[in-house]
Amino acid sequence: MKKFLLVAGVAATIGFTACNDVDVSTLEDHQGAYILNKGTSNSSISYYNYEDEKCINNYYQEKNGGTIGAGATQIAARKTTDFPKGLAYVALPSENNIEMINLEGFIDAGNIDDFTNPTDVLPSGETVIYVSHNSGVSSYDIKKGEVVKTFELEDKPQKLISSGKYLYAACAGDGTGAKVFVFDMSNNNEVDEIALVYDNPIDMVVDIDGNVWVYCSGDTQGLIKVKRTLKNEEPYIEHEAIEFVLGDNKGDKANPLTVSRDGRILYYVYGHLCSNSVYIEEKDVDTDGNGEIDIVKGDLSQEPIISGDYQTEAFNGIDYDGHRNRIVALTTGGELVVLKNTDDVWSSDEVHNVGENPLMTVFNY
């Protein structure tokens, strides 16, 4: 879960403490939001504490006296027995490195240099992370410091997400459609391969029913719902890929997809911020006028959902803060925009300057 519902998949993968409410009047230093900024020569991390409505930039440099490296693509975090305040992972593909950060004090906790071009990291359990890299997807034991198993994939994996015990790896493809590979994390076996009609999967979320949504950004941009069915006999899981077109490419974004806390509303960037129910394909229509109702595929909304400032902003990254029911959005100009919903209308509540080329946000409470 870069996104909120991932917490349902692998026990608080990104650092949520289950679904317990957080007393925002007593936030500790490790609690709040961390914004990953890709930068140019060096990447950076900004820390946002909404209790005092302050954002501290160059947070890693401030705490460690050095930089995390260049070309960061992903930040993920999880609490463990050894790291009760949380352990963060930053993928740095251009450095062939994954930086680890103890969120108690935000102190360097070492690095993993076992992979070439690591693009995404998904924590799972106490000591295991999954890493997408040039050769495929690997499970890695951080305590032993060794690779547990590698799934070699011809198509380079770009993004990872989990739904229940299943890991989904989205691969770019060869220009004729991308692919999503599915692995059973309980036994480290590949269980499915799903062909997509669009190219370049750049973001994924999980909805209330455990289905995975993929944002593709090739020549055509669109969302694909990877609808899953669980069975009692082999194969224990089956998938159907249902595509929803947005239109011609309006510009690649780093993380243009997120989902509401209850997993029922998708938020996505297509020229501006839009939203849609996850039940979009279940639309009752009398298609031939004979009085018989058919269930047909609906259309993704392309209407902006923000009033006033930022209504036409093509955000570079969006994430849903389920503890406050806010959307945190990142502009290409280096702003963190906190969006609040009032009477079903979203508007900017706070704006803070962050680092250069902000990509995504991870929450830790």
Q: What is the CATH number of the domain that holds 274?
A: 2.130.10.10
- Judged against a pLDDT cut of 50, whether residue 222 lies above it is answered with yes
Tokens standing for 148?
């547990």
Q: Domain for residue 32, yes or no?
A: yes
Q: Domain for residue 94, yes or no?
A: yes
For CA atoms 357, 99, 14, 352, the dihedral sign is: negative
- The one-letter amino acid at 15: G
Return the top range by mean pLDDT from 16-20, 35-39, 283-287: 35-39
Q: Domain for residue 152, yes or no?
A: yes
- Band (pLDDT 50/70/90 cuts) for residue 290 is confident
Strand order in the sheet with 32-37: 54-56, 44-49, 32-37, 358-364
Q: Domain for residue 174, yes or no?
A: yes
Q: Which ranges of the chain would DSSP assign to H, the alpha helix?
A: 6-9, 59-64
What average pLDDT does the segment 236-246 reach?
Answer: 94
Q: Given this model, what pLDDT does residue 184 score?
A: 95
- CB-based contacts of 69, cutoff 8 Å, min separation 6: 42, 43, 90, 92, 94, 95, 97, 99
Question: CA-to-CA distance for 211 and 278, rounded, in angstroms?
Answer: 9
Tokens standing for 307?
């009033």
Q: Domain for residue 284, yes or no?
A: yes
Cβ 315 vs Cβ 256: under 8 Å? yes
Reduced to 3 states, what is the DSSP secondary structure of residue 71?
Answer: coil
Pairing, β 97-102 against β 87-92: antiparallel
Q: Given this model, what pLDDT does residue 172 score?
A: 86
- Judged against a pLDDT cut of 80, whether residue 127 lies above it is answered with yes
Domain count, the chain: 1
Question: CA-to-CA distance for 243 and 283, rounded, in angstroms?
Answer: 15
Among 261, 263, 272, which Cα is nearest to 329's? 272
**DSSP bridge pairs for 321:** 326
In this structure, of 12-16, 69-73, 210-214, 250-254, the range with the lowest mean pLDDT score is 12-16
Q: Domain for residue 1, yes or no?
A: no
Among 59, 138, 72, 63, which Cα is nearest to 99's? 72
- CB-based contacts of 321, cutoff 8 Å, min separation 6: 4, 33, 327, 328, 363
- Band (pLDDT 50/70/90 cuts) for residue 9 is very low
What average pLDDT does the segment 84-110 reach?
Answer: 97
Q: Domain for residue 258, yes or no?
A: yes
Q: What's the domain range around 64?
A: 6-364
- The one-letter amino acid at 146: E
Question: CA-to-CA distance for 152 and 128, rounded, in angstroms?
Answer: 18
Q: Domain for residue 91, yes or no?
A: yes
Q: How far is CA 25 from the centre of its chain?
A: 27
Over the Cα atoms of the chain, what is R_g? 20
